[in-house]
Structures are given as structure tokens and as C-alpha cells.
Amino acid sequence: MKAILEQLETRREQARLGGGQRRIDAQHSKGKLTARERIEVLLDEDSFEEFDMFVAHRCVDFGMDKQKFPGDGVVTGWGTINGRMVYVFSQDFTVLGGSLSATHAQKICKIMDMAMKNGAPVIGLNDSGGARIQEGVDALGGYADVFQKNIEASGVIPQISVIMGPCAGGAVYSPAMTDFIFMVRDSSYMFVTGPDVVKTVTNEIVTAEDLGGAKTHTTKSSVADGAFDNDLEALQEVRRLVDMLPLNNRSKAPVRPFFDDQAREEPSLDTLVPDNPNTPYDMHELVRKLADEGDFFEIQADYAKNILTGFIRLEGQTVGVVANQPLVLAGCLDIASSRKAARFVRFCDAFEVPILTLVDVPGFLPGTSQEYGGVIKHGAKLLFAYGEATVPKVTVITRKAYGGAYDVMASKHLRGDFNYAWPTAEIAVMGAKGATEIIYRSELDDPEKIAKRTKDYEDRFANPFVAAERGFIDEVIMPRNTRKRVCRAFASLRNKQLSNPWKKHDNIPL
């Protein structure tokens, strides 16, 4: 018996070494943690339960029968984050470059099946050279199996991908179908075809970092939702995000203790909006002053900065925030911001996370580049996302809400539950000057008369009261009381029930 136990421990030690100490040292020399070290950082201490530690590939071609490693390049299992169950797979770059084989894929699919069955998130720590070339179509089939699981799990359990090394070719499409993607600066990259192929096909000379590094995907492509300086920071931030999310689409997000007064007044908000309607201000200030303890987990902070998306807590409960940012493009909606916000709204709706919308939007960004790029269809994505959402929706208009953009931003007409406005709100088809020049085109030669007409239009529409008279605004509130009013609104909506007509699925304008 003792010999058998010793054999088990010897095998375990061998499996824990992955590709061997030399390769582990090489991983550390690049400033990267090993697959198992990453799991230790991500999960609560001593909570990890591993599956398939001794699984090995079955390939015998190209001398692969002599290159077998227990675990086959991926560590899989489950554990807890702040006491709540999550499933995790962590690719081991020290084993054949973390390449994906048929058995490697089977291990990932196995925990994804278990996660769906047991209603817990899946976190993938990606660090792989791609499909294992020696296995050919078996490896490609493995990727397709993982893709299918990603699709089935979408909207059922949260899926989070952390890119902690290379992720190229077909490998990128699994993270692309997950809910959130985070990258590590200077050590991770994602692309469909690498720099060498790009140079051969298009004659473009580009580095791996410029082609698919963290900066590219957080500022230009919107593929990634955030980037961090090292493995430790990335994993700690993933813990923070998971702590805000529900475990699955049938459970609510966790309620955490909070140490903030629900009725806290913020007198500074009374002067947040400048007297000059064309002067910008930072919407981050409002978001943080509404949130419990000022905590805001922002999603895609470096992309489409004219709109903010992310999570806060109100009375300890998670709320998704979408807010126009007047500091960038005057807060206009455009292609990028519409796509960014629409995807976020749909995530919140899929997982029963209430949505708070803070509105200061002068309209959609004009121009040929926007029209040629399909701003009509992309703008419709956000409209569609808000209109189909059945979760509690509370909207606060702080200043401008013009034209179709007023409708799109969670208006009462899109089944907004509570629609508040500050006294500084302006709800109209367009700004006073533009409106006057159209209505009184025949009087454009008389500046005095036009000035008077503009003043009359401002008095009539540059306020929230016409919309309030129609019932499109539920209440005009004092800015300083916004946290209290919003908290009470969400509290009253905790038992909200609303469903859409039966359908197999909708056909959102993609």
C-alpha cells in the first residue's frame, strides 16, 4: 500500500512540473507565472480541485509518442473566488508551447459541461501556441468542440478569458465568444495571422505587439475589455470582476456588505453641469459619487471613450452603468460607442444585472465616415439592446438628450422603468440654434429676430418640463439627491417581472 501511495505522489509531482524545471525557469524569466501559479493567485487559498491531472495525448506521429506529459498542457478544475464556485482552465506554455491537442480540448470541454450543469462561471487562462501541428485535423476538431461549448454556454454562465501569452490563429475565436477578455501588457497578443504571414501576403511590416498586443485590442479593435501590467494584477482584477457577477443566468449577483449611506447627499453634483451648455465635464465624477464607496469597475475604458460602461454597487447590489462622456466627442454616439454599449447592455440583460443609464448626448456623430461605416445599423444595435432588455432600467438625464439619441439611451419609450432628469436637462429634437434656423429659415437675414426666436425655443424646450408634462420623465430631481433616488428606484424594482414575446431568438442588426 505504501508503495502505491508513493507512486501516486511521484506521479503528481511529475504532473505539477509540467514541461520541466528548465521551461518553468524560462517562463519566469519572461515575467510570467506558470499555469499552476496563476490558478493559485486567482482562486481562494487551498480551494482548487483538479481534474484529469494524468491525461496524456494519444498522438504517435512525428515522434510524439516520446513526448508525453501528464495533463497534456492544460490544468483544469474548479475552486472558489471569495467562497463562490468557478471553473478554470489554465494552459501550460511549458508543455509543448501550450498547444492544443484533441485531449487538451476534451479537458476544457469537460469543465465547460460541468460549469453549465452546475451553474458556475468559466475562467480561461490562455497561454498557447495554437493547434498542435503534429495532430493535424484532430487538433482543429478539438478547437471546434471548444467553440461549440462557448456558444452553448453564452448567456447561461459568465465566461471570462485572460490572455496571458500568445493566442493566434483559430485559438482567438474561443476568447472572442466569451463575455470578457483581459490581456497582459507586453506579454500577451492575439491575432488571426501573425506578422510573418501578414508580410508575405500584404507586404506590411508589423510587430506582434502592434498587430495584436494589449494596446491594439483595448484602444483600436475593441477585442479586449482591459489590459494590466502583469499576471498578478490581471488575476486580482478578474477576482474583483467575478465578485460582482452572478454565477449563472438563474441566480442574482451577490449582495455585499456596504458602508455607505443610501440617502447620502452630494451637494457638489448641483454644480457638476457647467452653465455653458457647450462646456464639457467628466461623467466619471457622477458615476463614482453614486456608487457605494465610489467603486467603479470600468469595462473597455480605453475604447470609445465617448461612452462609459462598467459595474458599480448600489446598497451592496451590482448595477451595470452606461453613461455618455461629454469630455470626448461631446458625448455623441458613434459606431464604436454604440457597439461597445450594446454588447454591455446585452450582457447585463442576459444575467439579470440592473442597468443605470446616465444621459448627456447631443446626438449621433455626423460625417461620411460614420455613414459609410454603417452608423445606422450600429446605432440600431444599442437601440435594440435597450429595447429587448427586461431587467430593471433606471435613467438619469443630466443635460442634453437630443434627437434619436434621446430615444436610444434607455428612454421611457424603450420600457425604461424610472426616467429621471436634472433641472439642467434639455430634451428636444436638436439644439436651439439649429432648430431655430430650420423653423425660421425665412428670417435668417435678421440676426436680432433669430436671437429672439432662439431664446424662445430655449425657454420652451431647453428644460425637462415638456417631457415631464407628457409623462416621458417620471420626476425632475435635485442632482444632490441622485444617489438616494436611484437606490430607491432599484429597490422598488427588485421583484420586476417582464418577458418578451416567445421566439427562437431575435435577429439583432449585426
Residues annotated as part of the active site: 169-170, 404-405
User: What gap in Å lies between CA 67 and CA 73, rounded to an integer?
Assistant: 12
Three-state DSSP class for 395?
strand
Farthest-apart Cα atoms in the chain, separation: 103
Q: How many of the other CB atoms lie within 10 Å of CB of 478?
A: 14
State the residue for C-alpha cell 459609410: 372
SS (HEC) of 484-498: HHHHHHHHHCCCCCC
Backbone φ and ψ of 6, nearest 5°:
-65, -40
CB contact set of 17 (below 8 Å; sequence gap of 6+): 24
Q: What is the amino acid identity at position 432?
A: A
Three-state DSSP class for 25?
helix
Three-state DSSP class for 244?
coil
Backbone φ and ψ of 359, nearest 5°:
-110, 125
Three-state DSSP class for 112?
helix
CB contact set of 393 (below 8 Å; sequence gap of 6+): 354, 355, 357, 386, 410, 414, 415, 416, 417, 418
User: What gap in Å lies between CA 312 and CA 321, rounded to an integer?
Assistant: 7
User: What gap in Å lies between CA 382 and CA 506, rounded to an integer?
Assistant: 14
In the chain, count of helices (H) and strands (E)?
A: 19, 17
User: What gap in Å lies between CA 215 and CA 303, rounded to an integer?
Assistant: 10
HSE (side-chain half, CA atoms, 13 Å) at 389: 37
Q: Alpha-carbon Rg of the chain, whole angstroms? A: 26
Q: Pick from 421, 429, 432: which is nearest to 398 by CA?
A: 421
Which sign, positive or negative, has the C-alpha torsion 287, 290, 292, 293?
A: positive
Q: Pick from 14, 17, 353, 63: which is nearest to 179 by CA?
A: 353
User: What gap in Å lies between CA 320 and CA 318, rounded to an integer?
Assistant: 7
